[in-house]
Copies of this chain bind each other. A is one copy, B any other.
Amino acid sequence: MPHLPDWLARRALLHPDRPALIGSFATWSFAELDARASALAMGLRALGLLPGQRLAILARNSPYYAAALHAAPRCGLLLVPLNTRLTPNELAWQLADCGATLLLYDEAHAAVAAILDGVERVALEPLTELVTGEVAAAPPIDLDAPHTIIYTSGTTGHPKGAMLSAGNHWWSATASLLNLGLHETDRWLAVLPLFHVGGLSILLRGVIYGIPVVLHERFDPAAALAAIDDEAVTIASLVAVMLARMLEIRGQRPFPPHFRCALLGGGPAPQQLLESCASRGVPVVQTYGMTETASQAVTLAPADALRKLGSAGQPLLPMELRIVAAGRVAAPGEVGEICVRGPMVTKGYYGRPEATAAALHDGWLHTGDLGYLDPEGFLYVVDRRSDLIISGGENIYPAEVEAILLEHPAVAEAGVIGAPDPLWGQVPVAFLVIRDAAHADSNQLIEHCRARLATYKAPRQIHVVAELPRTAAGKLRRNLLRELLERM
């Protein structure tokens, strides 16, 4: 694959004064973002960091985060964005797993960083202070070079670091472009956390397309609506729970005509929400993607949005899609495992050759998700990986929660599933076989989880049962737990 000029440096040359990041406290032009990234790259080199090392970052959404995203590849470093909702234990595990050399943190995470003593830690913002004097030119971008490691939960109980190359991000950005188009007036709203691929990829599209990103520190429905109304946002990446809250506040007041796309990802969207948007003229474009595909893999084209309500759409131009059932390519309408292949797909998981070999066959990523294609080739996602719980756009793997529950002395067996929730889509619920009923207080067990897991992963309810339904081979039958829950 070819080397490309550094995207941000080129944009800074092409239109230095155009806003690159519009934040709540500052607007940075492409020239300023480029200068900040250069300063940070110099700072990182001065700290002795070497190409190939991993640079972790624990920070809220901010322009400084964007500077780190562009500075890291200039030093040949792999950026590892960390989920700020994780507990110190979970963070320490990921830092150790990727062998991070340095952790960048912002003020809001200084206290957490202080106890992560297995790694060198440096405050992010001071390193981005503009420097005077000669600045090294940004080297070309090798599309084959690893660029980012993003942790994604796995079925095995521990998250895995999906490696994304510069080329994965580039192809993802151009693939999205070929589907959604690009207007001179485009501005993309980023309210998703930058530690997820859905948020991070917006920053990359911003510099590849040369358009401003309106960056919010966190999602606030009123602020998101204000950005659309007053800051001329044309595209927003959202998950269903965000869009639902925005509609709730909005009432019947229409969205401005310049707002051309609510790109809706991060899990299934309730049909009712889609219909409500359709009836109000909110331009929703559903998408199906994941960390391993550098964000969107399959997206509904705007022209098909109403005709194919509920479909995730068709594969983006350079992506191939097929459904595999019983070891062969499924017929239209037949449900099977969703598999994708293309230049946006990860080369694998950091330091996990077995997990990589299990997920990737001849370039095809086996997503574990179930779906079917209609006769026109539109994808309908039937179910995420049978065990995956999606709560407000966050993925929760039951195995990870179960492992924590089993650490508690009172718990003999644990089964975790997602229960429907009107606000979050799903919330985790645990079924437990108890060793010692005297020490099995529900609140205390939930507390046990909260102390060890991000809050959103802790079960909302605990149900004590005599035994868990299992297959003859002893494998947990979560579908029977779901049936049990429905009958409760």
Is A301 an interface position by the 8 A CB rule?
yes
A317-B5 contact given A178-B182, A178-B208, A303-B15, CB 8 Å threshold: yes
Docked Cα-Cα span, A5 to B343, in Å, equals 11
Is A146 an interface position by the 8 A CB rule?
no
Is A64 an interface position by the 8 A CB rule?
no
Is A153 an interface position by the 8 A CB rule?
no
Q: Name the B residues within 8 Å of A314 (CB-CB).
A: 13-14
A2 touches B1 (CB 8 A): yes
Q: Which of A336-375 contact B (CB under 8 A)?
A: 342-343
A184 touches B317 (CB 8 A): no
Q: Which of A1-57 contact B (CB under 8 A)?
A: 1-2, 4-5, 7, 10, 13-15
Is A99 an interface position by the 8 A CB rule?
no
Q: Which of A318-343 contact B (CB under 8 A)?
A: 318, 320, 342-343
Docked Cα-Cα span, A303 to B343, in Å, equals 32
- Least CB distance from A260 to B in Å reads 9
Q: Name the B residues within 8 Å of A210 (CB-CB).
A: 178, 317
Q: Name the B residues within 8 Å of A343 (CB-CB).
A: 2, 4
Is A377 an interface position by the 8 A CB rule?
yes
Q: How many interface residues does chain A have, given as a range?
A: 20 to 34
Tell me which of B14, B303, B320, B377 contacts A301 (CB under 8 A).
Answer: B14
- Which single residue of chain B is at the shortest CB-CB distance from A313? B14
Tell me which of B4, B177, B318 contacts A2 (CB under 8 A).
Answer: B318
B2 touches A317 (CB 8 A): no
- Least CB distance from A170 to B in Å reads 9
Q: Which of A366-396 contact B (CB under 8 A)?
A: 377
- Which single residue of chain B is at the shortest CB-CB distance from A345? B2
A4 touches B318 (CB 8 A): yes
Docked Cα-Cα span, A181 to B209, in Å, equals 9
- Least CB distance from A352 to B in Å reads 23
Docked Cα-Cα span, A171 to B7, in Å, equals 15
- Least CB distance from A162 to B in Å reads 18
Q: Name the B residues within 8 Å of A167 (CB-CB).
A: 2
B13 touches A377 (CB 8 A): yes
- Least CB distance from A347 to B in Å reads 12
Q: Which residue of A2, A183, A342, A377 has the most chain B CB atoms within 10 A of its CB atom?
A: A2
Is A420 an interface position by the 8 A CB rule?
no
- Which single residue of chain B is at the shortest CB-CB distance from A304? B15
Is A88 an interface position by the 8 A CB rule?
no
Docked Cα-Cα span, A177 to B377, in Å, equals 26
Docked Cα-Cα span, A7 to B174, in Å, equals 14
13 A-B contacts (beta carbon < 8 Å) = A2-B167, A2-B318, A4-B317, A4-B343, A5-B317, A5-B318, A5-B320, A13-B314, A14-B314, A174-B174, A177-B182, A178-B210, A181-B181
Query: Interface of A with B (CB < 8 Å)?
Result: 1-2, 4-5, 7, 10, 13-15, 167, 171, 174, 177-178, 181-184, 186, 208-210, 301-303, 314, 317-318, 320, 342-343, 377
Q: Which 4 A-B pairs have the closest CB atoms?
A: A2-B343, A181-B182, A4-B318, A174-B174
Taking A174-B177, A178-B209 as known contacts, 9 extra A-B pairs with beta carbons closer than 8 A to each other, sorted by chain A number, are A7-B317, A10-B317, A14-B314, A15-B303, A177-B177, A177-B182, A181-B181, A182-B182, A183-B183
